[in-house]
């Protein structure tokens, strides 16, 4: 067995693993400082002519976002993923290409003025459309064969369609956890435990800590909604368009009898498109969500929930008085319609901005939760007078306890590679795992290769 860690090693983005010199697991975007990210994303160090297949665990761009670039660079083989992953990936890749094209157009205008050579986007919508023709859907629990490897997809419970992928060959078995979800999250079945494998490549995003319970999250939501109802103000929730937005809607639906009937607006065309995919894959829901659907109680479409599509409608919403709830993207306030709503709410002491997702360094979201007193939106300074609140318990990643339970459940496991985590999280997790796991644990460096 041979495995090379080309991305997602001692960091959370850019997942890219080369197995036995012929399988690529993931082809994610590296996200970080602009120039460094561009350098890494543009030049993946792989001989694409040797690759028989790309196996994709789920739609998130840090796992899927560099696929169109590999196609552009000459990869001609199949890309295997679940049907829901293919559908969500299509939306996210088109959205990413659109942003790349816009950014480059803006940058090229500046470069032209300076008489400098123009740049090309990482990939275009056309590259995305060509990539989509390479995707082939794979159901969970249906082993298939490539050469002498048998490949099986298992439920990962992280986002809709997410999978763990196992390869079994003459030299042994290896399981890629992908991103693992948590027990009891809205919509999704719990991550599958006890999958037999000798080698495990395990994500460790939250290897160093444990999340708040969902019951605490619900209590906090109720308090916040009561507050804006009393104040007749606005609750603004920046949220990722995939899974986080739908999870929030699900929780608000669940709390319907415990909160005042404040109108809820989902102002993100991407989130609305993803929601449509959720609605068409009821077969992937867990028992609770399926029961709601059977009782004609749609957790993604109820009384005072409204989806906003047009720009005009979004502007109308921006002028509307509270009490109201707005869920909008992007989740880290780096772009999208949330910025227009922020412009209005930041200066209003009665409004609340609620963060429910991870906020990376150097983002507007991070500055706000760090308590900065003045921030720039669309180039203009705004004093921060509104209330800023953060809820951590909605993460779609397994926490430390979940990861330990997961490892304990695997029979005959011999070796673990920890990936997809910051160094500190990985080291803490490795220490914890050592108390129950006696095999070898490695924390691969970027570019490191193992043969065994």
Residues in contact with Zn ion by the rule CB under 5 A: 60, 179
Calpha distance 89→245 (Å, rounded)? 16
How crowded is residue 78: how many other Cβ atoms within 10 Å of its Cβ? 14
179 vs 351, beta carbon nearer Zn ion = 179
Min dist CB 179 to Zn ion, Å, is 4
User: Residue 148's closest CA among 175, 173, 180?
Assistant: 173
Burial class of residue 112 in the structure, from the number of CB atoms within 10 Å of its CB (0-12 exposed, 13-18 middle, 19+ buried): exposed
202 vs 225, beta carbon nearer Zn ion = 202
234 vs 397, beta carbon nearer Zn ion = 397
As given in the structure block, the two tokens for residue 392 are 């951590």
95 vs 179, beta carbon nearer Zn ion = 179
Min dist CB 181 to Zn ion, Å, is 9
Min dist CB 64 to Zn ion, Å, is 9
168 vs 179, beta carbon nearer Zn ion = 179
- 220 CB contacts (<8 Å, ≥6 apart)? 389, 391
Min dist CB 58 to Zn ion, Å, is 6
Helix H or strand E encompassing 4? strand 2-7
- Residue reference for tokens 């989509």: 132
How crowded is residue 209: how many other Cβ atoms within 10 Å of its Cβ? 12
Contact 197, 174 (CB under 8 A): yes
User: Residue 339's closest CA among 374, 303, 370, 375?
Assistant: 375
60 vs 211, beta carbon nearer Zn ion = 60
Across-strand partners of 79? 54, 135
The number of CA neighbours under 13 Å toward the Cβ of 281 is: 23
Min dist CB 31 to Zn ion, Å, is 12
233 vs 245, beta carbon nearer Zn ion = 245
């Amino acid at each position: 067995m041979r495995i090379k860690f080309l991305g997602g090693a001692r960091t959370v983005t850019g997942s890219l693993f080369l197995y036995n010199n012929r399988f690529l697991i993931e082809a994610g975007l590296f996200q970080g400082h602009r120039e460094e990210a561009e350098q890494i994303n543009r030049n993946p160090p792989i001989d694409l002519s040797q690759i028989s297949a790309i196996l994709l665990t789920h739609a998130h761009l840090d796992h899927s976002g560099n696929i169109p670039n590999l196609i552009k660079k000459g990869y001609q083989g199949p890309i295997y993923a679940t049907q829901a992953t293919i559908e969500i990936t299509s939306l996210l890749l088109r959205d990413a290409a659109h942003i790349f094209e816009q950014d480059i157009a803006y940058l090229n205008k500046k470069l032209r003025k300076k008489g400098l050579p123009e740049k090309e986007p990482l990939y275009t919508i056309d590259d995305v459309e060509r990539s989509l023709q390479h995707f082939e859907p794979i159901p969970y629990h249906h082993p298939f064969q490539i050469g002498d490897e048998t490949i099986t997809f298992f439920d990962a419970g992280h986002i809709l369609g997410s999978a763990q992928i196992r390869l079994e060959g003459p030299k042994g078995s290896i399981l890629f956890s992908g991103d693992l979800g948590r027990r009891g999250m809205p919509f999704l079945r719990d991550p599958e435990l006890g999958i037999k494998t000798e080698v495990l490549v395990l994500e460790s995003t939250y290897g160093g800590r444990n999340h708040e319970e969902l019951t605490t999250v619900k209590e906090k939501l109720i308090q916040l909604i009561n507050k804006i109802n009393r104040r007749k103000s606005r609750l603004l929730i920046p949220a990722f368009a995939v899974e986080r937005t739908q999870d929030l809607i699900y929780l608000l639906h669940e709390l319907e009898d415990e909160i005042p009937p404040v109108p809820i607006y989902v102002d993100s065309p991407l989130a609305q498109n993803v929601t449509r995919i959720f609605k068409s894959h009821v077969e992937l829901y867990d028992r609770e969500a399926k029961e709601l659907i059977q009782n004609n109680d749609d957790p993604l479409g109820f009384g005072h929930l409204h989806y906003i599509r047009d720009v005009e409608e979004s502007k109308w919403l921006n002028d509307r008085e509270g009490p109201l709830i707005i869920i909008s993207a992007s989740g880290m306030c780096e772009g999208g319609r949330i910025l227009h709503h922020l412009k209005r709410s930041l200066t209003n002491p009665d409004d609340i901005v609620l963060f429910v997702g991870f906020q990376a360094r150097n983002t507007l979201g991070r500055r706000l939760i760090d308590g900065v007193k003045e921030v720039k939106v669309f180039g203009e300074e705004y004093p921060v007078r509104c209330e800023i609140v953060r809820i951590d318990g909605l993460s779609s990643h397994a926490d430390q306890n979940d990861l330990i339970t997961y490892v304990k459940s695997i029979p005959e496991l011999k070796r673990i590679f920890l990936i997809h985590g910051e160094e500190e999280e990985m080291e803490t997790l490795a220490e914890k795992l050592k108390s129950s796991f006696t095999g070898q644990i490695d924390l691969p460096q970027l570019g490191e290769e193992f043969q065994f």
